Amino acid sequence: MDTEQKETSLETLQEIRNIMERSSRFLSLSGWSGIWAGMVALAGSGLAYLLLEQYNSYGIRAGNYSERYTEGPVVAYPFDLLGLGIAIFIVAFLGGFYFTYRKNRKAGIKMWNTASRKMVINLAIPLAAGALMTLAFIAQGDWIYIAPGCLVFYGLALINGSKYTVSDIKYLGLTEVILGCAGLFLSPGYGLYLWAFGFGVLHIVYGIIMWRKYDQ
């Protein structure tokens, strides 16, 4: 077999490998999705900080979520934060979906396929467990565990979903889990800062790396 035939065979094998990889892994995530999610999380963290400062004027100490207040506007305090968290998730998800959809459309790749379905399912299982845990903490008034818990379960979701997409998100997931576990042992006052760093800064860094590695 001459050199030209060898090169042709290698190219064919590489093409077959790429086709098999595309069929089993969703490889078209956009780096801009991570950047967008991080920016939304940082903006939401700023709003949460202002909200906490507002309620501090009524006697609530930042991070001391386990105390219960029943007088004046302070009664809405936990539910305002919960609503803000839900809004942040929706805005971040919609933006991430848009950027990924736009990238796939330009590349002529079908976005919803077997690999993407498997990825979504594997992401959803830990996220659903984390959502139930969060609701349980809210019901018990244990707000100090919500920020670390969100980081841990989100990290586990990324690790679980990395089997069906780019492996880079596994390292983001590991970092989120470590950060969340550390938050369980820190003062409750650091919860918001850890949340901002995990969902904000780390997402932006991850998005930039993904953009330079896959989008350029």
Q: Does residue 19 lie within any of the structural domains?
A: no
Cα torsion 159, 163, 167, 171 to 10°: value is: 10
165 DSSP β-pair partners: 26
In a domain, 24, yes or no: no
The SS3 assignment for 72 reads helix
The share of the chain scoring above pLDDT 70, in percent, equals 75
Which pLDDT does position 91 carry in this prediction?
94
Residue 92 lies in a domain: yes
**pLDDT reading at 160 higher than 60:** yes
Q: What is the mean pLDDT of the chain?
A: 78
Residues 70-122: tens digit of each pLDDT: 444 444 455 677 788 889 989 999 998 898 888 888 877 777 777 788 888 99
Q: How confident is the model at residue 41 (pLDDT cuts 50, 70, 90)?
A: very high
Q: Which amino acid is at 125?
A: I
More confident residue, 183 or 24: 183
User: Domain containing 130: what range?
Assistant: 29-215
Residues in contact with 33: Cβ distance below 8 Å, sequence separation at least 6, in sequence order:
95, 96, 97, 99, 100, 207
Q: Show the tokens assigned to 22.
A: 């595309």
Q: Are 38 and 204 in contact (CB under 8 A)?
A: yes
23 and 78 Cβ atoms separated by less than 8 Å:
no
Residue 7 lies in a domain: no
- Does residue 209 lie in a domain region? yes
Find the mean pLDDT for residues 33-42.
Answer: 93
pLDDT of residue 57: 57
pLDDT, tens digit (0-9, with 9 covering 90-100), for 120-143: 899 999 999 999 998 888 888 787
Taking the model in full, what pTM does it have?
Answer: 0.76
Residue predicted with more confidence, 178 or 21: 178
Give a yes or no: residue 5 inside a domain: no
- Overall number of domains in the chain: 1
Q: Is residue 18 in a domain? A: no
Is 6 within a domain? no
Cβ contacts of 106 within 8 Å, gap of 6 or more:
none
What pLDDT is attached to residue 63? 42
> What's the angle, vertex CA 196, arms to CA 82 and CA 72, rounded to 5?
35
- Name which of 7-21, 158-172, 175-189 the model is least confident about: 7-21
**pLDDT on residue 151:** 94
Q: How many CA atoms lie within 13 A of 175 on its CB side?
A: 16
